[in-house]
Chains A and B, each alone.
Chain A
Amino acid sequence: MLLNFLEELRSAGIRASLKEHLTLLEALDSDVIERRPEEFYYLARATYVKDEGLLDRFDQVFHKVFHGVFSESGEQEYSIPEEWLRAVTEKFLTEEERAAIEQLGDWDEIMETLKKRLEEQEDRHEGGNKWIGTGGTSPFGHSGYNPAGVRIGGKSKNRRAIKVWEKREFANLDSSKELGTRNIKVALRRLRRFAREGAADELDLDATIRGTAKQGWLDIRMRPERHNAVKLLLFLDVGGSMDDHVKATEELFSAATSEFKNLEFFYFHNCLYESVWKDNSRRWNERIPTWDILHKFGHDYKIVFVGDAAMSPYEIAWPGGSVEHMNEEPGETWLKRVVDTYPAVAWLNPSSQRSWEYTQSTHMIRQIMNDRMFPLTLNGLDDAMRELSRKHG
């Protein structure tokens, strides 16, 4: 049972391992929890899930695997024949009332709700499925059947344990989750170049010993701490054919922003022209001339383009080729200016490497970049970072 659970978790994308599994067994063994399904759910959750973004998935898997199990052991599960339900509603409701309820939703749905409510209610009553008629067990006696809405069964105070995960409280955390950025960060680390900058507040032991030996008195030498000194300009292609790659680009971007202190990013569309922008919602009002960028950021900045390089060749080679505006100089000229200004340039292409040779524009850009185009995969990123961190003479 538990192994099956582990397997289901893994296939749902929760990376639980044998280690967690053993921990769970150990916890069960040492009686950490009282033997209640609810507590078991909490314990399993704390053991297997390490990321709030995955909590919702866990709830779903838990429901799938343990559905009905807990009711077998301990609580009795009631399966209520549909005819009974139908009979009951017919008995208690007039034709008009039924029609009114039917308007509120699918009949089957209402039946389903009714069934659930009944199930919920059963465990509050003394034994048994003789729920029609006899003292207090009638589900309809409790709160009645209201034509204005199906309110069968009162709001149960002691919610059944199963309901805790059925509530799926963490559903909205799932989408906000960025996946895989850690891998990207690790790849980006290759680009780190540590340099000493800033206030001298770290003891340089070697220099101190050397100095002391030379001077004959204690000669403390300090030096600045090491920082990641890499400066990065990121140019991101947005819109059009890039829409398919938004996720990969966002991951790269969120990893890069947390990894580099000196990071500037700009957006462009398809090809680089005379201006770029920083805020996509205000792309038409707040444009930054590309010349300004070339002048402002020193040669030691490293340039990374992210774009699929898929466009009409005219957009690269001809003045006025841009799909959006009249550009006086072709994109090619602008790309070449960047390549000439900055020795370290790389183009990351999120479309698959096999498709590159079928697109003429990809060819052209690759040529402009002096073959420094890399796929936006972990390996490609690794290669690109190696290329960027190469000593440029």
Chain B
Amino acid sequence: MTQRFTGTENYVATDDLKVAVNAAVTLRRPLLVKGEPGTGKTVLAHEIAKAIGAPLIEWGVKSTTKAQQGLYEYDAVARLRDGQLGDERVHDISNYIRKGKLWEAFTSPELPVLLIDEIDKADIEFPNDLLQELDRMEFDVYETGERIAAKERPIVVITSNNEKELPDAFLRRCFFHYIKFPDDQTMREIIDVHFPDIQRRLVTQALEVFYELREVPGLKKKPSTSELLDWLKLLLVEDMPVDVLQNRDPTKAIPPLHGALLKNEADVMLLERLAFMARRENR
């Protein structure tokens, strides 16, 4: 692996992110990515895969996900049924073992990028149960006595939203990167990447509205990068004139097409109330 990750045409990576990714790719240690929702944690894995031309294996974690499901599952019911029907397959237990994402990643013919998405959604023991498997990149299949070992250590990207803390032993094995909310400059680069021929003035106005909105105290969910991009897309599709954003007075605190920015009814209400109060003061 000689090429370095430098971001892609669709993804703006900051310097510190590049270093973290390159370290994880070179040493083949898992990269743990945290950050506000919507700052591009999951997208990062897609872009790493694209950048180095590797297939991406995605493992989305839910609250009911067990570590074992990432390795393999033994479908006892199917075997029982086949046994009942006298199917020949029943004699070979390996017919009933379903491969999990980790198995897939370990045995993939090409070097893959494995994304373990939102690891904090799972049970508190989940990361502990994967310690050995991610460290040695191998595990045993008890039903068949097989040992599955990775030919080449896959590149592992793990994302977390900080809903649960992860155990120390797990963290020690990872590189860590916290995607902080992009500053104005980075944000412009990101917008450039996504909307190359957007008007400068529109971007400036939109960013102003956006950062202002993030400053509003008490918002339940602050809009983040992905919301901003959606919003810009909408503004473009609707062919919104720039002066709609420009001529904003405090009495109309709600930005146009706010549905893309604010995902929470309470937040919209809050803004409306603020606007109402501003109106009353102006009277």
A positions within 8 Å CB-CB of B: 15, 17, 19-20, 23, 26-27, 30, 32-33, 38-39, 42-43, 45-47, 49-52, 55, 169-170, 181-182, 185, 189, 203, 205, 208, 212, 217-218, 220, 258-259
Size bracket, chain B contacts: 20 to 34
Please indicate which of the listed interface residues A33, A212, A217 has the most CB atoms of chain B within 10 Å of its own CB. Answer: A33
State the CA gap A259–B165 with chains docked (Å): 12
Chain B residue with Cβ nearest A225: B64
B residues 75-127 touching A (CB-CB < 8 Å): 76-77, 80-81, 84, 124
Residues of B within 8 A of A23 (CB): 27, 29, 175
Chain B residue with Cβ nearest A49: B176
Residues of A within 8 A of B166 (CB): 50
* Interface membership of B195, Cβ < 8 A: no
28 A-B contacts (beta carbon < 8 Å): A19-B172, A19-B173, A23-B27, A26-B27, A27-B23, A27-B26, A27-B27, A30-B27, A32-B26, A32-B27, A42-B16, A42-B19, A42-B20, A46-B16, A46-B19, A46-B20, A46-B24, A50-B176, A51-B171, A182-B165, A182-B167, A189-B124, A208-B80, A212-B80, A218-B80, A218-B84, A220-B77, A220-B80
Known: A42-B19, A42-B20, A218-B80. A50 touches B26 (CB 8 A): no
Residues of B within 8 A of A169 (CB): 180
State the CA gap A331–B275 with chains docked (Å): 47
State the CA gap A30–B176 with chains docked (Å): 19
Residues of A within 8 A of B164 (CB): 258
Known: A42-B15, A52-B178, A205-B76. A47 touches B23 (CB 8 A): yes
Q: Which among B22, B32, B80 is the interface contact of A32 at CB below 8 angstroms?
A: B22
Residues of B within 8 A of A208 (CB): 80
Residues of B within 8 A of A47 (CB): 23, 175-176
Chain B residue with Cβ nearest A47: B175
State the CA gap A220–B76 with chains docked (Å): 11
Residues of A within 8 A of B19 (CB): 32-33, 39, 42-43, 46
Q: Which among B77, B171, B180 is the interface contact of A50 at CB below 8 angstroms?
A: B171
Residues of A within 8 A of B163 (CB): 258
Residues of A within 8 A of B20 (CB): 42-43, 46
Residues of B within 8 A of A15 (CB): 168
Known: A23-B27, A42-B15, A50-B176. A181 touches B84 (CB 8 A): no
Q: Which among A46, A203, A212 is the interface contact of B175 at CB below 8 angstroms?
A: A46
State the CA gap A15–B176 with chains docked (Å): 14
Min CB distance A183 to B, Å, is 10
Chain B residue with Cβ nearest A222: B77
Q: Which among A49, A185, A217 is the interface contact of B84 at CB below 8 angstroms?
A: A217
Min CB distance A191 to B, Å, is 13
Residues of B within 8 A of A189 (CB): 124
* Interface membership of B34, Cβ < 8 A: yes
Known: A23-B29, A217-B84, A218-B80. A33 touches B22 (CB 8 A): yes
Contact A170 B172 (CB under 8 A): no
* Interface membership of B177, Cβ < 8 A: yes
Residues of A within 8 A of B49 (CB): none
Please indicate which of the listed interface residues B19, B29, B77 has the most CB atoms of chain A within 10 Å of its own CB. Answer: B19
* Interface membership of B174, Cβ < 8 A: yes
State the CA gap A17–B173 with chains docked (Å): 11
Contact B22 A185 (CB under 8 A): no
State the CA gap A154–B22 with chains docked (Å): 33
Contact B178 A38 (CB under 8 A): no
Min CB distance B219 to A, Å, is 16
Contact B124 A185 (CB under 8 A): yes
Please provide the 8 A-B residue pairs with the shortest distance between their CB atoms, ordered closest to farther: A42-B19, A50-B171, A46-B20, A52-B178, A42-B16, A182-B165, A46-B175, A218-B84
Chain B residue with Cβ nearest A40: B19
Residues of B within 8 A of A52 (CB): 34, 178
Contact A203 B76 (CB under 8 A): yes
Residues of A within 8 A of B26 (CB): 27, 30, 32
Contact A170 B180 (CB under 8 A): yes
- Given pairs A32-B23, A205-B76, A258-B163, 8 additional interface contacts (CB within 8 A): A27-B27, A32-B19, A32-B26, A45-B16, A46-B24, A170-B178, A170-B180, A218-B84
State the CA gap A51–B172 with chains docked (Å): 11
Residues of A within 8 A of B32 (CB): 50
Residues of A within 8 A of B173 (CB): 19
B residues 1-52 touching A (CB-CB < 8 Å): 15-16, 18-20, 22-24, 26-27, 29, 32, 34
Chain A residue with Cβ nearest B183: A169
State the CA gap A51–B177 with chains docked (Å): 9
Residues of A within 8 A of B124 (CB): 185, 189, 259
Min CB distance A181 to B, Å, is 6
Min CB distance A175 to B, Å, is 15
Residues of A within 8 A of B165 (CB): 181-182, 185
Q: Which among B167, B168, B172, B176 is the interface contact of A46 at CB below 8 angstroms?
A: B176
Chain B residue with Cβ nearest A15: B168
Min CB distance B203 to A, Å, is 21
Please indicate which of the listed interface residues B23, B29, B165, B173 has the most CB atoms of chain A within 10 Å of its own CB. Answer: B23
Chain A residue with Cβ nearest B172: A19
Min CB distance A68 to B, Å, is 22
State the CA gap A203–B75 with chains docked (Å): 10
Residues of A within 8 A of B22 (CB): 32-33
State the CA gap A49–B171 with chains docked (Å): 9
Min CB distance B244 to A, Å, is 33
Chain B residue with Cβ nearest A183: B165
Q: Which among A43, A49, A51, A218 is the interface contact of B81 at CB below 8 angstroms?
A: A218
